[in-house]
Amino acid sequence: MSHRNIILIGPMGSGKSTIGNIIAKRLHREFEDSDHFIEKRTGVDIARIFDIEGEQGFRDRESSALSELLSTNNRVIATGGGSIMRSENQQLLKQKGYIVFLDTSVNQQLYRLRRDKKRPLLQTENPRERLESLSAERRPIYLDLADLAVKTDKRMARRLAADIINQLPDNLK
């Protein structure tokens, strides 16, 4: 068994936290969510960090959190949707784990996030336009980084987690 981390990347609402938690339990690994890690560390939610420090300040905290989370092996880690925007994060992710991209349509994101008021990047007049813009910018990076890309639209989390585990290299199971 490999002790490499399994790292989930993808846009907000793709299911990284939910699916990561299931995979971690099934593979008897520790699960970490980088956003929750930052919230525990700072004592405030992500939206508050955005309010006080702006996106740049949050991204600095996110890079630091990723570095710390990836310094330990044998974890399943859910990253923030924008964590892949910095080249140093991209290199760290590639070096420290097997990367699974949860590929989710904008329609599915809008459905899953329709009641979520805690996403700073969605607090806009036109959430669809914002998600489409983020997708255009980030999806090519997700695809480039991914060791495995999985479509998540209209799929149950447990079945999706089982499919991902089945597609992992044997040394990660």
**What pLDDT digit, counting tens, does each position of 13-46 carry?**
999 999 999 999 999 999 999 999 999 999 999 9
Helix (H) or strand (E) holding 86: none
Q: Which domains does the chain have, with CATH numbers?
A: 5-162 (3.40.50.300)
Q: What is the pTM of this model?
A: 0.95
Q: So what's the pLDDT on residue 2?
A: 63
Give residue 7's region: left, alpha or beta (phi > 0; psi -120 to 50): beta
47 vs 4, 16, 34, 64, 158, CA distance in Å? 31, 19, 14, 18, 29
pLDDT tens-digit series, residues 42-62: 999 999 999 999 999 999 999
Distance in angstroms (rounded) separating the CA atoms of residues 136 and 33: 24
Q: How far apart are CA 56 and CA 134, in angstroms?
A: 16
**pLDDT profile of the chain (173 residues), mean per 10:** 87 96 98 97 94 95 97 96 97 97 96 82 87 97 98 95 97 92
Contact 132, 106 (CB under 8 A): yes
Amino acid 117: pLDDT = 76
